[in-house]
Structures are given as structure tokens and as C-alpha cells.
Amino acid sequence: MKLIMPIVIILVIASGPVTEFLFRFQDPVKIQNTLSLFRVMIPYAILAGAGAVLMGALHVRGIFVVPALAPLLFSVGVIASILILSPSIGIYATAIGVGIGGVLQLLVQVPSFLKNGFSLVPYFRFDHRLRRILRGWGPAVLSALVFAVVQQVAMLIASSLGNRSTSAIGYAVVFFQLPLGVLSVSVVTAAFPKMASLAADGRIEEMRKYVADGMVTVVALLVPSALIYIFLAEDIIKALLEHGRFDRHATKMTASVLRGFAFGLPSVGLFTYLQRLCYALDYPGRALGASIAVGI
């Protein structure tokens, strides 16, 4: 949080040059809308950062159910905002939904966080503990940065295409993250402490069986989810989003993107699982290398 807050403040102040660099819109109306949406949505980074801190603390206590609900509530907040607010405020409904989803995924974890002896009082000292965390999380942060860059490149390319291209990607990502966060990430998160414990104890054969069982579980959960999106994407999006300005054309565009994402859903889940395995084995460099290879 000490790092996120200054970055968010800088991005809000420099939102004009940042959006001009990230997007290639020619229409002045699109440029203005992008700038306004960016300013509304960027504070979500603070909510996401705080939610991640609470999630990590609960994982340390062996609590996984509540943190697993957080991504689900984020998607619910975004989708509900689109359904309720889009007729009156149009594209800004999604931006508002991101903020609402961020608040929901943070608040749902607060009771368990406090119940387990943690405090919400901020700690602003830059001491050796923070430096140790930064050294340990460096590869993880860089791995996440790789995927953020890849996603931004996709948005940059989409911004130079036809109308609604970037919106189609954004909406599709929300649906894509739903099974990935609720099913795959939940399994991966619950499995990580066990994998780390087995690795620390040198019980390699037992860990191999445990890892294999976890991979089977991830595939068993995500393959049906992918098939549902491949065959029913248009029906799902029509039922949930086709209201107001979100017309039939927008439904078809978003469904097309979602189908493409769906083919990669099981592999993304497996990649996330194996990446956590690298961290359990204390091979963060391999996890980072894999992220770079996939991103390229």
C-alpha cells in the first residue's frame, strides 16, 4: 500500500499524458471519455491492493473460503452496476462497477481479518521488514507486470480498431475472470501452503502426487467452464448485459472475444497452479521466466 498510493496519485495527476500514451483513439469524444474513465477507475488500485493484503493475511491463518469469495463479489459488483446504471450513465456504469466491486471484495474480508487478530491501522514505516518483503516479492511483481503489459498491448491494438473493440475486451475479461478466480485461483491458493510445507520437508514424492491431483482438479473445473463460454457465450452476455446502449452488436462482439478467451481458460488455470509450485519450491526466477516466455 505504501507503494500503490503514491503511484495512484501520480497517475491521477498525469492522467492526460498517460491515456494518450496507452491508447490511440482519433475521435476527440473517445479521448475525453477515456480520460474520464481512467480517472474514475484508477483509484481501484488502492482497493485491490488493500484487498490483496487482507487476502494474504487470511491465507496465513489457513482461511481460504472468504478470500475466494472476493473475486466473485468483484464480478458481481461490475455486472450489477452495468445492469442497473448503464441506462442512465452509459459507459460510466462499468467504471462505477469496478469501484463498487473493489469495495465489496475488500469489505467481505474485513470481519475475518479483524476476528483473527489483525488490525486495520496503517503502518507507514519503511524498515527492514518492508525491504525483505520487496526482495521476496520482486519476481512475483515482475511476473504480474508482464501480464499487465500484455493486456495493455491488447487494449492498445483494440483501440485502433473499430468502435467498441476495447469495451468488448473489457467485458469479456470480467466474465473470463469469474471461473478463473472462483474455481482455479481458489484451488491454487488452498494448495499452495501444503505444497510449500511438503517442499520444505523434502517430501518430494508426496508433493508430486499432491500437485498432480491439484492439476486434475483445476482441469476438471475449468474445462466445463470453458465449454459453457464457447457454446453459450452469446446467450449469457445477452441475458446479463444486453440492455440500454449495450445492443445486439455489442453482445456479438463481446461473445466473440469471450469465446477466444475460453479456449485458454484451462491452460491459464494450470499455468497459475504451476507458477505457485515454483514459489513453493523456492524457484521464483523460473516463475518469472515462464511469465516472460508466455507473454512473448
Which set of grid coordinates corresponds to residue 244?
440500454
The pLDDT of residue 2 = 57
- Rg of the chain's alpha carbons, rounded to an integer? 20
Integer angstrom CA distances of residue 7 from 4, 152, 259 = 5, 17, 34
The helix/strand/coil state of 125 is coil
Q: How many CB atoms lie within 10 A of CB 233?
A: 23
The pLDDT of residue 33 = 76
pLDDT tens digit sequence for 191-218: 888 888 898 898 989 999 999 999 999 9
Which set of grid coordinates corresponds to residue 109?
474480508
The pLDDT of residue 228 = 96
The pLDDT of residue 159 = 66
Distance CA 210, CA 62 (A): 18
The pLDDT of residue 217 = 94
Distance CA 25, CA 27 (A): 6
The pLDDT of residue 207 = 92
Strands, E, within 10-105: which ranges?
none
Highest mean pLDDT among 2-6, 193-197, 254-258: 254-258
Q: What is the mean predicted confidence (pLDDT) over 122-138?
A: 68
Which set of grid coordinates corresponds to residue 32?
475525453
Query: Per-residue pLDDT for 147 more than 60?
Result: yes
CA angle 178, 175, 238 (to 5 degrees): 135
CA angle 108, 112, 114 (to 5 degrees): 110
Strands, E, within the chain: which ranges?
none
Instruction: Give 149 or 222, the one with higher predicted confidence.
Output: 222
The helix/strand/coil state of 262 is helix
Query: Per-residue pLDDT for 1 more than 70?
Result: no
Integer angstrom CA distances of residue 245 from 25, 85, 166, 237 = 20, 11, 15, 14
Q: Which residue type occupies 153?
A: V
29-43, 142-156, 162-176: which range is least confident on average? 142-156
CA 26, distance to chain mean position in Å, is 29
CA angle 152, 158, 159 (to 5 degrees): 90
Distance CA 230, CA 222 (A): 12
Question: 284: which residues sit within 8 A by CB, 6+ positions away?
Answer: 136, 138, 139, 140, 278
The pLDDT of residue 92 = 83
pLDDT tens digit sequence for 73-113: 888 888 888 888 888 888 788 888 888 988 999 999 999 98
Q: What is the mean predicted confidence (pLDDT) over 256-269?
A: 93
Q: Which among 166, 191, 231 is positioned nearest to 59, based on CA atoms?
A: 191
Distance CA 277, CA 273 (A): 6
Q: What is the DSSP letter of 184?
A: I
Is pTM beyond 0.85? Reply is no
Percent of the chain with pLDDT over 90: 23
Per-residue confidence at 296, pLDDT binned at 50, 70, 90? low
